[in-house]
C-alpha cells in the first residue's frame, strides 16, 4: 500500500469521524450544549481536532526531516540557524533576571518562571530587531542598485 492510498484512507476516516461528531452535536441541540449538558457531544470533536493536529504535525515533521537528510547543504543550513536561535535564546536568558512575582489569583510566579518569561520577551525583541534590520538593509541595497 503506497503512501498516497494510506493518506487518503486516513483522511476519509477522519472525515467520517468528523461528520459523526457533527451529527452528535446536532442531535444534542444548542440549549443542552449551552447549559453544559452536552459536554459529551463536544468532547469527541475536541479529541478529533487534537488527533488531527497530532497526525498533521507528525507527518509534516517526518517528511521535513526526510527532505533535510537527503540534502546535506540544507541540513547544514538548518542546523546553523537552529544554533543561531539557541544562541539568541542563551543570550536572552543570561540577560534576564528572575524575581518571585505575586499574581492576581494569589499564586506566586517563581523566579525561574519569571526569568523564562523575560527570556521569551527578549528573544521576541531580538528577533524583531534582526527582521527589521534585514528588511531595511535589503530595501536600501535594492534602492542603491537602481
* pTM for this predicted structure: 0.62
Q: What is the mean pLDDT of residues 5-32?
A: 78
The pLDDT value given to residue 132: 97
pLDDT higher than threshold 90 for residue 130:
yes
Q: Enumerate residues 6+ apart whose C-beta is below 8 A from 120.
A: 92
DSSP 64-88: HHHHHHH-HHHHHHHHHHHHHHHHH
* pLDDT range class, residue 4, cuts 50, 70, 90: confident
Domain range annotation of the chain? 1-70, 72-146
pLDDT higher than threshold 70 for residue 37:
no
Chain center to CA of 146: 40
Task: Determine contact, residues 33/25, Cβ cutoff 8 Å.
Answer: yes
- Better-scored residue on pLDDT, 124 or 43: 124
* pLDDT range class, residue 6, cuts 50, 70, 90: confident
* pLDDT range class, residue 51, cuts 50, 70, 90: confident
- Judged on CB neighbours under 10 Å (0-12, 13-18, 19+), 52 is middle
Task: Determine contact, residues 78/68, Cβ cutoff 8 Å.
Answer: yes
Amino acid at each position: 500500500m503506497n503512501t498516497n492510498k494510506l493518506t487518503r484512507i486516513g483522511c476519509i476516516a477522519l472525515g467520517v469521524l468528523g461528520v459523526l461528531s457533527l451529527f452528535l452535536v446536532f442531535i444534542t441541540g444548542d440549549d443542552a450544549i449551552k447549559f453544559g449538558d452536552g459536554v459529551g457531544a463536544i468532547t469527541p470533536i475536541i479529541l478529533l481536532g487534537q488527533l488531527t493536529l497530532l497526525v498533521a504535525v507528525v507527518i509534516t515533521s517526518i517528511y521535513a526531516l526526510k527532505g533535510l537528510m537527503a540534502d546535506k547543504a540544507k541540513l547544514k543550513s538548518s542546523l546553523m540557524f537552529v544554533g543561531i536561535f539557541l544562541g539568541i535564546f542563551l543570550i536572552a536568558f543570561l540577560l534576564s533576571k528572575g524575581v518571585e512575582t505575586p499574581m492576581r489569583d494569589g499564586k506566586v510566579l517563581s523566579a525561574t518562571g519569571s526569568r523564562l518569561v523575560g527570556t521569551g520577551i527578549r528573544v521576541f525583541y531580538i528577533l524583531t530587531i534582526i527582521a527589521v534590520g534585514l528588511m531595511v538593509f535589503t530595501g536600501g541595497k535594492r534602492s542603491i542598485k537602481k
